[in-house]
C-alpha cells in the first residue's frame, strides 16, 4: 500500500508523457506563392461602401434612457395619486400638475 502513490505516478507518466522514439521525417510544408493578380476591392454586404462617420450620429446610452423612463413613470404614478411633482407637464400623454 505504501508503494501505491509511486505506482500511480509512474502509470500517469506513461500515459501523459509522449515516448521518445525516432521521429518520422516530416514532409516539407508547401510553399504558398502570392496570387499573380491582385484581389478585387472588398465590397460590404450591407451596402456600406465608405467608412461610417461617428460624429454624424448621437450616442444614446441605454442606462441613461432607462433612468429617465423610471423618473417619468414615478412622476406619473405620483400624479395619479394627486401629488404634484416638479417636472414636465405631460408624461406619457397624461397631463401632470
pLDDT in tens, 42-91: 776 776 677 777 787 777 788 888 888 898 898 888 888 887 666 566 66
pTM of the shown model:
0.31
Number of Cα atoms under 13 Å in the Cβ half of residue 66: 3
Determine the pLDDT at residue 97.
60
pLDDT in tens, 2-37: 688 888 888 888 888 776 666 677 788 888 777 677
Amino acid at each position: 500500500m505504501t508503494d501505491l502513490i509511486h505506482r500511480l505516478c509512474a502509470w500517469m507518466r506513461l500515459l501523459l508523457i509522449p515516448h521518445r522514439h525516432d521521429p518520422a521525417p516530416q514532409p516539407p510544408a508547401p510553399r504558398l506563392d502570392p496570387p499573380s493578380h491582385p484581389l478585387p476591392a472588398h465590397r460590404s454586404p450591407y451596402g456600406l461602401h465608405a467608412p461610417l462617420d461617428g460624429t454624424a450620429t448621437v450616442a444614446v446610452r441605454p442606462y441613461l434612457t432607462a433612468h429617465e423612463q423610471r423618473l417619468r413613470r414615478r412622476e406619473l404614478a405620483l400624479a395619479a395619486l394627486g401629488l404634484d411633482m416638479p417636472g414636465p407637464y405631460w408624461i406619457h400623454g397624461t397631463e401632470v400638475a
